[in-house]
Structure formats: structure tokens, C-alpha cells
A and B are shown apart, each in its own frame.
Chain A
Amino acid sequence: MKLFGHKLTASAAFGMLVIALFIFICLFTPWLSPYSESANVGGTWDEPSMKMVFGADQIGRDMLTRMMYGSRMTIGVALAITTLSFLIGILTGLVSAVLGGWVDIFFTRLVDVMLSIPSLIFALIILGVFGSSIPTLIMTIAVLDSTRVFRLSRALGINLRVMEYVEAARLRGEGLWWVITREILPNAWAPLVSEFGLRFCFNFLFIAGLSFLGLGIQPPYADLGGMVRENADAINFGMMAPIYPATAIALLTVSVNLVVDWMLSIDARPSGAQAEL
């Protein structure tokens, strides 16, 4: 099977299938879920049954329903963070690369400072001070994460800035915006898109991690990381409850990585090509 003129590997196909499934579920959760988000329909940690496929959570809500809403929330937030961080990172990175001089020094030093502080600690401080609402969460992590996007897009921009077609545009008298959007960005898409996939994974895990620590998405909203924490005690009784949301986290992360791996292999040389020795 081929996609965009490139041969699709089995692992990439699997990854795409899983991602498609997650997207479908996230888009149509209210119609697909058996119960409403916070309805108590059973007892604490009820065993899986025909009524509740994955059993019930710590206060008797349907695990499958919670996982659907949880995925929707966690994925949505992670996607918003990644998109925002790419907007900030690409813009500052490319402006920095093209203009150089003081602008470049300002942004790179700022990023150096931000990168010197562990991001989890940084996020904990900000969220501790400003409280953990969803917009604060998105803004904080997006800004933190944009430092890495900045580094990548600045590096790409510096390589492309010296190309003669960019010089030709400058000689013509084109402005900064044209140079960035028309001359540089189209040539930087491929690495940026695969980086988007990877950063999404990190952000997804980061959000899940924060929620697990109780600083991410707050109840009553369901989210995958929070669900692992809420149901963690079930492990002591030999019950599966926290395994389900944890598996969902792992499944999505692995799937996105499989697809990104495939995308990166497209950029490389033709498949099977090796020097004949």
C-alpha cells in the first residue's frame, strides 16, 4: 500500500489506524460513550461485565466512558499545547535566524535561560502560583515547549537563510514576512512536521504526568493521567483499573512514534539503498 507516493510499512499502518481510532473517539465521545461523563453506574472498582466493558472506577463510574472523555481531554490539551508552541517557536526561531544580530542574541539567550530550568519544576512553580486552570496549563507548557521548537526552526532557518534563492529575494527587496513564509518555511516543513509528532508525544506524556501529580487537569474532568492516579490503589487489591488508562497513554504514544519514524524514513535515501561493498 502506498501513501503520498511512499510505501507504507506495517508498523506505520498500525500507528495510523490507532491514531485514527483515537481521533474518531475524541471527536464523537458524547455520542459514542455508553454513559455520561460523571454518572455513577456501579460500585467501586466493579469487575468488567457486559454492562461496563472495563469495569468501574474508584467511585463507580464507567471506566470506558471515563477513558473516552479522558482521551478527548488529554489529547485535546496536548494538541493545543503543541500547536501553540509551534506557532511561537517557528515564528521566533525563523525571525531570529533571518534577522540575526541583536534579535537573535536576545531570543537565544532567553531560550538558554529557560532551558536551564528543568521544565517540570518550572511548570510546577507556575501552576502552583497561578492555579491549574486549563488555559494556564496550555499557555505555560506551550511557552516552555516552544524553546525546543525555537532551537530546531532556528537551526533550519540558518541553513536555509544562506541559500541563494533567499538572497535573491532579499536583493529583490522582499520583506521579512515574505522571506519567512514563502522562501524558508516551505523548505523546512518536512523536519518540522515530524518534530510536531514527537513534541505532541512529549506534551501528551507531560500532561498525563502533571495530572498524575495532581497539578494538571482537575476533576471533575476526566483525563488519562489523573485516572491512573485516582485508580492507583486498585493495584493493591490485584485489580486492573489503573492499567486501562495507562495502556491508552502508551498505545497512543507508541503509535505516534511509529508514524513519525515512517515519515522520517521518507526523507532519507531510497529504501534499501546502501553502497555496494
Chain B
Amino acid sequence: MDDSTILHISGLRLESVAGNVIVDNIHLQLQRGEVLGLIGESGAGKSSIGLSSMCYARAGVHIAAGAIVLGGIDIRTLEAEGRRQLRGKRIAYIAQSAAAAFNPAHSLMDQVCEAPVLHWLMTRPEAESWARELFTALDLPDPQNFGKRFPHQVSGGQLQRAMAAMAMSCRPDVLVLDEPTTALDVTTQIEVLILLKSLIRQYNTAALYITHDLAVVAQVADRIKVLRHGKEVEEGLTEQILHHATQEYTARLVAVRGAAASERASAATVMPETVLSIQDCHAYYGDFHVVRGVSLDVKKGETVAVVGESGSGKSTLARVVTGLLPPKSGTISFQGAPLPASLELRSKELKRRIQLVYQIPDVAINPRQSLLDIVGRPVEFYFATRRDEMLERAKELMKLVELPEDFLARKPGQLSGGQKQRVCIARALAAKPELIILDEPTSALDPLVAEEILTLLRKLQGELGLSYILITHDLDVVHRIAHRTAVMLQGQFVAFDQTDRIFDQPDHPYTQRLITAVPEMRVDWLDQVLAKRAAA
């Protein structure tokens, strides 16, 4: 170990209170000014490793073995007070959800200045002027007065940058970034990414960059470590991982993104008849005008994607179609007949024909019901079948979504995220619907699992002639299963056309911005974007 090594973790092993091994035999080394990407699916142990680099373990987990050497000191041998002295000062943490990490009762300046003052590094005025310098470096609006605001008064992207300022407030040697851009919109993500990268370079800080998105980490990391089930799969230079992965798992992670470019939804399933048609629809939350004059039509066997950032009104549009939020004006017709605006006015038969699949499968199915209850209930409810027929149909549905029959006796807690989403799809299919609204069906899932769900959705569309309205922010998903795509901005469609045309010839500047903001699986993508911007 030479002088430039700032963080050295060897033989790290984390165990849960129950004795399960969460992370095993992890070695990592970080030089000054170097960025190491930690990548893996949920449950791979990325965050636990990130936290243990500060010798911190969440409730229920403890560090069972290994050495964590920060700047020549093995922090595992220190007492709690000694560790506290290091945290924030020499090693700092940036959490995934800035909104949840800031205290809403204090101004941003108070929270950014807290650490350096507490560690006796700076006086309060010094800390404030340093904070303003950081706000400027992070391109925050009105850096002189930005600190006076409270967390709820700034946007998500700004808050994430304020958190970066907080982490940098003591000029730490090591930054731990735990999915810093995952909760952000794609156009915001790129800005935060650019600023984080320049911040790390400017102050020559070493960083652990934790993410599940290989394309994002490729832009900032010098090296990447791939993790799975708490064990290291492989580690290599970023370039090497992207193009010459030695492990099959890594290759699959890389390939998921690559597949998007080659696959397109086939038009074979689309039939001429219109299933749903919305004309000039306006919807409000109280006085807030959310959906502003949207017109949309969906044909039988077709997938129409509605793309937009958070707050664009796309989920509200889904609520309008399902009848949960009756629109103020505009007409909706379903299979040629007008569709009553509110859910209460719709017949059981109409309710049956339109089904919804939610974003987060964990809360979309009742944890206290067995899968038979969950999947069988719509069958019983809509078709008044006998118990044995219902059981037959439930088995059939399990087969359709490729789950084993004996899962019917299980409760949701015994399933993985991807399996739960399959149950949600089975529940929707149980009603034999004509239209399924998919509200971000894959965004809570790991990339490889999401891939399987997309394949399943396409297969079902082909077999059953279903129409989908796909609500999403993920352009990759759109690319692959949508026949037509609508781009939504501030409650309006700025573009609505064949998916290919939207992607190949984006007319509207917002569509262009959206498409160019999606990170590509290349090391130099971000630099090229910057170069292009500089040229323009």
C-alpha cells in the first residue's frame, strides 16, 4: 500500500443479526482523486459496502470481519468517538434521496455548515463563505442567498446538489455517493452528473460511486467493481468492463442496454379498430391544471407510450383513464361508446375491460392475501365462477405469466420483486381486459428482471391482442415495446407519433433534450455531450 492509497478495505464481511452473510470477502482500494464504481442489482450489498467504508452498519447488520483503513488508520479499531471524528470530515456520504436526507426544519445553509463547525475546522462565517463557493461550483441559482432556503423550497436536482455541497463542506478525502442521480429525472440527472464529476476533479477527491446503472457509472468512474449477492463478480477499468467483460453476468448487464437499439416493437399485432380515444382532455387537482388538452387514441393490439418527467402529468392521465380522477372537460370513448368520467358511474363490465398495473409491485398487492386470493378474486368477481373453475383459471393465469402453479399458496412476502410484478400482471389478465394501463411497470425492478417483464408483456400482447398504455420515464423501455409514443411536458403532448419517428427525427426541442440526456454505454458519452454544448 503506497501513500496515494486513501481507502483500503480488505476481507470485508457483513452479517445480519440473524447470522446471514450479506457481504463477503470484499477487497477494494481507492487512490486519491480516483473514482471507483460499485455496481450491482438490489440486494447485491452495494450500499452496505458504501456505508461500511465509514465503518457504519445499518440496524440489523454488523461488520463481522475485515479491515477498513482510511488514510493509514484502521477505523474498525477506533472507538465510536474516534469514528465520529472521521465521518463528515475525512469521508462523507451522499444519499440517494436528498429529499429524505435533509431535515425540513432547518435552512440549507445551517445543514451545509453544520459539519465543518462541529468538527472545529472552520468558524461559522468561514463555513458560510465556503458553502457559497460550493453553491457556485455546483451551479446552484443565486449562490449568495441559496442557503437561506429550506429543503422544500428547492427542486429535487438542486437538493441533490446541495447535498453534494454538504458532503464537500469539510473537504473530505473520500466521498461515498449512493445512487446520487437515481431519483432524478433524466434531464436533471445529466446536469447533476456533470457537476459531480467536475467537483470530484476540481478538489481531487476520491469517490465510491454506487449505482445500478452501468451507463451512468461509466461516465464518472475510473474503475468499476461488479457485485452480485454480496460477492465480487469482477473488477476492472471502466473501458474493460464495458467492452471486454470476463464474467458472463457483467456481459449480460452490458447487453441489456445494448439490446434497446436493435429491438423494436413489431407492428404485426396492431389492428385497425380503435379501443380508446381521448379528445381534448383537461384534468385538475383542486385548482392545479395538470392535464392540459390531451388527445390520444389507442388501437387494438397497440402499445402507446406516454413519456415525460416527474410532474409532467403522465400518471394523472392514467388516473383519468381509469376513472379515479374525472376530467373537467374533454371526452373519452372506449370501443366506440362514451366512457363515463368517474369510476362510480362505470359499469362492472367497463371496469373489467380496463386494468391497471402499478409501478411498485410491493404495495400493489395485499401482503396478507395469498396469490390465489389475489389472482382468483377478479375471476370470481367478474365472472361469478365456481371455486374449482376459479382455481383452474388461476393456474392458467400463473402459467401465462410464467410462474409455477404451487406459488398460488404463497403470500407476496415470499416472492421477489420481479415475481410480484408478474402477479400484478396476472391479476390484470384475470379480468380478461382489452386495455391495460402500465404505470412504470419496470422502473422499480433491476435491469435484468425488467428485461424479462418486458419480454413477457410483448408475448402477452401477441397472444391475447391486448392494448397497452405505457406510462414511463425510461426511454429505453419505450424504444422496445411502444408502437407509438407521446412526449408529455407540463400537461401537454409536445409530440405524438410513431416511436421510430420520435426517436430518429425529434422535432420539438424538449424531445431532443430528453433523448440526448439518456446516458449511453460509452465512456466518453458525457464528455461528448459537454463538447457539443460548448460548440453550440
Q: Is A163 an interface residue (CB 8 A)?
A: yes
B369 & A277 in contact (Cβ 8 Å cutoff): no
Q: Is B125 an interface residue (CB 8 A)?
A: no
Q: Is B324 an interface residue (CB 8 A)?
A: yes
B431 & A172 in contact (Cβ 8 Å cutoff): yes
Chain A 262-277 interface mask (CB, 8 Å, partner B; 1/0) = 0000000111111111
Q: Is A233 an interface residue (CB 8 A)?
A: no
B363 & A164 in contact (Cβ 8 Å cutoff): yes
B80 & A275 in contact (Cβ 8 Å cutoff): no
Closest chain B CB from A41 CB (angstroms): 54
Closest chain A CB from B327 CB (angstroms): 17
Within 8 A of A (CB), among B1-34: 16-18
Q: Is B119 an interface residue (CB 8 A)?
A: no
Chain B residues lying within 8 Å of A187, measured Cβ to Cβ, are 366-368
Q: Is B62 an interface residue (CB 8 A)?
A: yes
A269 & B356 in contact (Cβ 8 Å cutoff): no
Interface segment, B52-60, B148-156, B282-290? Answer: B52-60
Known interface pairs A171-B351, A173-B381; A186-B59 also in contact (CB < 8 Å) = no
Chain A 178-196 interface mask (CB, 8 Å, partner B; 1/0) = 0000110011000000000
A167 & B378 in contact (Cβ 8 Å cutoff): no
Q: Is B393 an interface residue (CB 8 A)?
A: no
Beta-carbon nearest neighbor of A165 in chain B: B366
Q: Is A174 an interface residue (CB 8 A)?
A: yes
Chain B residues lying within 8 Å of A165, measured Cβ to Cβ, are 363-366
How many residues on B have C-beta within 8 angstroms of the other chain's C-beta atoms?
39
Within 8 A of A (CB), among B370-390: 373, 377-378, 381-382
Known interface pairs A270-B17, A275-B59; A168-B364 also in contact (CB < 8 Å) = yes
- Report the separation of the CA atoms of residues A52 and B382 in the bound assembly, to the nearest whole angstrom: 68
Q: Is B303 an interface residue (CB 8 A)?
A: no
- Report the separation of the CA atoms of residues A216 and B80 in the bound assembly, to the nearest whole angstrom: 57
- Report the separation of the CA atoms of residues A173 and B340 in the bound assembly, to the nearest whole angstrom: 14
Closest chain A CB from B352 CB (angstroms): 8
Among B55, B56, B59, point to the contact of A269 (Cβ < 8 A).
B59
Chain B residues lying within 8 Å of A277, measured Cβ to Cβ, are 56, 80, 83-84
Q: Indicate the member of B343, B358, B363 with the most A CB atoms within 10 Å.
A: B363
Q: Is B456 an interface residue (CB 8 A)?
A: no
A171 & B324 in contact (Cβ 8 Å cutoff): yes
Q: Knowing that A164-B358, A275-B58 are A-B contacts, what are 14 other residue pairs whose CB atoms are under 8 Å apart, sorted by A's residue number?
A: A164-B360, A164-B364, A165-B365, A168-B365, A171-B324, A172-B382, A172-B431, A173-B351, A270-B18, A270-B60, A272-B17, A273-B59, A275-B56, A275-B57
Q: Which residues of A come within 8 Å of B, CB atoms?
A: 163-165, 167-168, 170-174, 182-183, 186-187, 269-277
Pairs across A and B, CB under 8 Å, 21 listed = A164-B360, A164-B363, A165-B364, A168-B356, A170-B324, A171-B355, A172-B351, A173-B351, A174-B381, A182-B373, A186-B366, A186-B369, A270-B16, A270-B17, A270-B60, A273-B17, A273-B60, A274-B59, A275-B56, A276-B56, A276-B57
